[in-house]
Structure formats: structure tokens, C-alpha cells
Amino acid sequence: MRVAVAGPLGLGPLRTRLDGAPALPPGLGNASVTQLVVGLLDAGHEVVVVTLDRAVGDVVEARGAGLRVLVGPYRPAHRARDAFRAERAAVTALLAAAGVELVHAHWTYEFALGAIASGLPTLVTARDWAPTILRHDPSPYRAVRLAMSAAALRAAAHVTAVSPYLAHRVGRWARVPVAVVPNGLDEGAFRPARETLRPDPVLVAANHGFDRRKNTATLLAAFALARRRLPGARLRLVGDGHEAGGAAATWARARGLDPGVTFGGRLDHDAVLALIRDADLFVHPSREEAFGMVLLEAMAQGVPVLAGARSGAVPWVLDGGRAGALADIESPVRLADDLVAVLSDPAAHGRLARAARARATDFALPVVVGRYLEQYERVLRTPTGAGAGR
């Protein structure tokens, strides 16, 4: 099969599969879409990657065995003023030159709208829920994104979502049934479960943005309370907004909540995984996740996870609490109690580590690629203009 994968993704991991040493930009990021491209290639399919980048003024192209990469321009600012018109047009134009049987577009924004406009058979994968994002970030930019998402879902003839939580919500706007296909993780990311718990435990949290949705403020307050009972505990925070001197550090310091906390800021993906691998507990205080890829990455490395009991898809990823501790992330006091409970019981800690590692195998990349291939076949079997079935 020859398929175009259109969406924001990190191009770095694909360089070794391309001829020569192409001067590719980094891409717009997202490891899960890159993982899918790798999985499709490893399964013997031809893939054309269609993406955009801020550093590109004209189309950049690179080729390798079974792989073609097309990168178009992505304006550095003011994209929302015309609802990403130039970006949508760029995606449509790149797909016209792709020579593929179908398009797999990721997110319900410019890539989905550009793919649908191409007239090619298109599968749209929803990866977030715009109304929730707008509620936590009530800005004109997010309002435009919501309108784009609604338009894409109304126009799409084939839709999947990365979790049952998201499929239920996306189904309110889509005109066709929404199938669930989760994110996948390459088998090389799996490690044996962490069986030991240090007397002075290390906690890691990775969140992009110090805001209400990511909820790091509650974690900082809870960690300060937990540290009264576990005085040697350390918390490492990484991600945008969590750098030394950044928003999270300034907020914590002003309230005396920074003892024992390291603010690492934005790190590359491998560095984040290394920090998680060295942790006794991965903590995810986010109030909402459509999937939560970083949870899966921690689980695959056999690191116990503690995350929100009502945080969107989180309980599903954690198998209803069997593969991770589900916590009240709204209350610093109760979250502190949950942290201490996990970090004070070596036997329970070990059970969580093993259960997390076992649950992660449900999301192994070959399994997920197989489920997407079933969806691709369904798209190609559907007459033009008809909707998708389950």
C-alpha cells in the first residue's frame, strides 16, 4: 500500500531512512505520528510524509527506501487570522504531488482540512478535543481552532480517535461512526519493570505549558506536603514553562514550594525518556488528556504511574487503575496522600511497575499499525462520497 501520512511530526528519527544526509528541518514535532510512519515502513508499505515547518520557505523533498518526505512552509505567526488558509493550501498541493492511494491525516485542523480538499480518500485521526482546550485556554486562536475542527469532522468521511474518551466526544460532531485506534509505541522503547523503590524517591512529571489544564501548580503544592513525610523525595519537572526561572519555577518560589524540585524545562525526547527511566514514579497531574502518550512511554519502561482519576482518557490508558494509580489531582492534600501511599509501599510499587509494563504491550506499534491498516482497507473499499462504517 502507498499511503500519505499528513500531520505535524518530528522528522529527526526519519533521517536514517533517507538517502544521503538531507538538510531537513526538525518538523513540527509529535513522536506518535513519527512512530506510525516507522511502523508502516517496517511493515513493508510505502509512505509519503506530508508535513509543514516554520523554517521552510519553499517545498523541501527527501527520499529513501519506501519513503518520501515533502515539507511545505508553515507561517511563524498570524496563521489563525485566515484560519490557516496558506497551510491548508500547502497540504492540498503537496498531496496532489504525492501519488498515493489514500491519505491518513492527523488532528482535525489544517492537515485534515487540506487532505479532505485534495479529493483523495482520507482517514482523519482526531488527537484532541478542541472544546476542552478552548475552555482551559479561552483565546481567539483556540476559538479559530475549534471552528476548524468542527468543519473537518463534519466533512470527513472516515474518522478515528485515539481513545474511547475522545471518540465519544468527536462522535458528537462527526457525520460517521468513529473507530478507536490508540497511539502505538515501538518495541524498542520497552524496558523491564522497575522492581526497586529508593528510600529517597525521585518523581518525574513532563508537561508542556504551566497552565490550568496541565495543572502543575497542584502537583507542586502536593509535593511540598508529601515531602514532610518523605523528606528525601525529589521532583523533576520538564517541559515548556518548567525551566529554571520560568513560569512554574517563579510561581513555586514565590510560595515556598520549590525545595526538592528541579526545573528542567524543554528537553529533547530521548532526554525526557532517560529521566523517566530513572524515576521511582511518573506523576501526571493533567486535568485532561485525549490519550497521554507520555503515560504510555513511562509504562513501557516499567515505571509506576500516578495520574488523574477523571482526566479524560487517562483511566482507560491505565486500565481502570489496574496499571497505574488513579489520584485526585484537584486537591493538593489528597494528591499528597496518594503520592505517599505509592512511595511508602515497596510491594505495591513493584506491582504497579509490572502491571504498567504489561498494559503497555497492548499499545505495541505492530498491533496499532495492524489496526490502522484495517481502517485503510475500509476507506479504500468505501465508494466515493460514502461514509465509513465501524
| pLDDT tens per residue across span 353-381 | 999 999 999 999 999 999 999 999 999 99
Per-residue confidence (pLDDT) for residue 24, from 0 to 100:
87
Per-residue confidence (pLDDT) for residue 155, from 0 to 100:
98
Does the pLDDT value for residue 311 go beyond 80?
Answer: yes
What DSSP state is assigned to residue 22? Answer: -
| pLDDT tens per residue across span 248-298 | 999 999 999 999 999 999 998 889 999 999 999 999 999 999 999 999 999
Across the chain, what does the average pLDDT equal? Answer: 94
Does the pLDDT value for residue 67 go beyond 70?
Answer: yes
CA gap 330, 333 in Å, rounded: 9
Complete edge-to-edge strand list for the sheet that includes strand 305-308? 261-265, 234-238, 202-206, 281-284, 305-308, 325-327
All structural domains of the chain, each given as residue ranges with its CATH number in brackets, are 2-184+365-381 (3.40.50.2000), 190-362 (3.40.50.2000)
